[in-house]
Structure 1
Amino acid sequence: MDTDPAKISDHVWRAKYRLVDAGRSEAGIADSWRRVARAIAAAEPSGAPLWEARFFDLLQDRSFLPGGRIQAGAGTARNVTLFNCFVMGEIEDSIPGIFRALEEAAVTMQAGGGIGLDFSTLRPRGLRAWAAGTIASGPVSFMQIWDAMCGTVLSTGARRGAMMATLRCDHPDIAEFVSAKHRPGMLRRFNMSVQVTDAFMAAVRSDAAWPLVFPAAAFGPDDQGGESV
């Protein structure tokens, strides 16, 4: 593997940021800087050529580098986002709600955005879904659908999909969540973060029991609303 920094940089530019379309092909990194500078300067109400030149100079000497989505998408006329990351909306605890959230995430990722999701709204594994008479498989199980979607959408472009999954520290499935990636090949496209509260940290310091709970409205009359660890 070639370790020459200049060659590595050139490879990254060609693979992720260089614009190559039917009627347009950037010959060097300066062409990319010019494209980005012109696109960003176009938002100015006046003096766009001046701002383009100033911004180009900043980019050319590496005084400032915009986010990757800006470098890849600005000035291309492609239907892509110039924002790197998105916090997705609440995932409704129902099959229609889950797949609406999946669709929204897929469309965002197709446009080049990374996504962050809170799976704390999904009922824990083993809890009865009273309306349908079924047993919930838990948030970690549904995360595998997002993982597969990310790999599928990735196949349409050169950039890896980026996802962040979070779960509250008092969710009954938190132990399964934090250990999920110990299994080979499991949730490979996710970063995982636990939502930690001040109360949890206080319990850690005092070595107190920590209740694992889920909203009582999700439980039927014979279910228990939580447990402690």
Structure 2
Amino acid sequence: MPKPAHISRQIWDMKYRLKGADGHPVDKTMSDTFRRVAAALAEPEKDKALWQQRFADAMDDFNFLPAGRILAGAGSDRRVTLFNCFVMGDIPDDMSGIFEHLKEAALTMQQGGGIGYDFSTLRPKGAPVHRVGADASGPLSFMDVWDAMCRTIMSAGTRRGAMMGVMRCDHPDIEAFIEAKR
């Protein structure tokens, strides 16, 4: 294995090295991490030993490195996602649907996944909400709720959450959205 740069070892230690509940390293070396991941990746193969060695060799030589969530989670026996990012479904323009999607986002982030939502489906600020006789607060107010959730959830127990919110350019609140992003 080529000797990794100091910063590479720091990042590995902070983000990808498997540690026990007490904070002590389970993976003593980067090769240990690669072997753990290789064993998990080889699990569905008929010749597990062959593929485990191939995967480990490729990682040891830095010819191949899986995505971060795979390095952090594969073979860890933790209930985490091995996918980095998720493009989530449409948010319904009603209170129960909005908060059901917020819950879905929180659970996805808790398991280590980053999320992306399009808030264009929510009615603009000031639009009537007929059943309750009120005006809509608009998508930006709900983005604040998502933002608070993202700050609160420690993604997979080790890192802050990652979230992307977008809005169509023809949404009536697009200028307020752009201003909020500054």
- The structure richer in helix per residue is 2
**TM-score over 0.5 (shorter chain):** yes
C-alpha distance in 2 between matches for 1:99 and 1:91: 9
Seen in structure 2, the aligned counterparts of structure 1 residues 11 and 24 have a Cα distance that, compared at 3 Å, is closer
| Cross-structure match for 2:12 | 13
C-alpha distance in 2 between matches for 1:24 and 1:179: 44
| Cross-structure match for 2:78 | 78
Tell me: higher relative CO, structure 1 or 2? Use CA pairs within 8 A at least 6 residues apart: 2
- TM superposition outliers: structure 1 runs of 4+ over 2 Å: 154-158
Given the two structures, how large is their TM-score scaled by the length of structure 1?
A: 0.74
Q: Does 1:42 align with 2:43?
A: yes
C-alpha distance in 2 between matches for 1:129 and 1:112: 35
Write out per-residue CA displacement over residues 19-64 of structure 1, whole angstroms, 9 at most, x where no aligned residue.
Answer: 11259711111100000000000111x1110000011010001111
Matched AA of 2:86: F
C-alpha distance in 2 between matches for 1:98 and 1:137: 13
Q: What displacement does 1:158 show?
A: 2.5
Alignment of 1:1-229 (within 5 A): 6-22=5-21, 25-44=26-45, 46-154=46-154, 157-182=157-182
C-alpha distance in 2 between matches for 1:128 and 1:80: 41
C-alpha distance in 2 between matches for 1:40 and 1:154: 26
C-alpha distance in 1 between matches for 2:151 and 2:114: 13
Contact conserved, 2:119 with 2:139, CA < 8 A, in 1? yes
Matched AA of 1:106: A
User: Which structure 2 residue ranges, 5 or more long, are not aligned?
Assistant: none
SS state at 1:25 partner? coil
Q: What displacement does 1:154 show?
A: 2.3
Matched AA of 2:181: K
Matched AA of 1:6: A
Contact conserved, 2:12 with 2:30, CA < 8 A, in 1? yes
Rg larger for: 1
Seen in structure 2, the aligned counterparts of structure 1 residues 156 and 85 have a Cα distance that, compared at 3 Å, is closer
SS state at 1:34 partner? helix
Percent identity at matched positions?
58
Contact conserved, 2:112 with 2:155, CA < 8 A, in 1? no
C-alpha distance in 1 between matches for 2:40 and 2:159: 22
Matched AA of 2:35: R
Matched AA of 2:57: D
Q: What displacement does 1:156 show?
A: 7.1
Matched AA of 1:174: I
Matched AA of 2:173: D
SS state at 1:120 partner? helix
Matched AA of 2:33: S
Moved more, 144-153 or 154-163: 154-163
Matched AA of 1:33: F
Paired residues, what number?
177
Q: What displacement does 1:160 show?
A: 2.3
Matched AA of 1:38: A
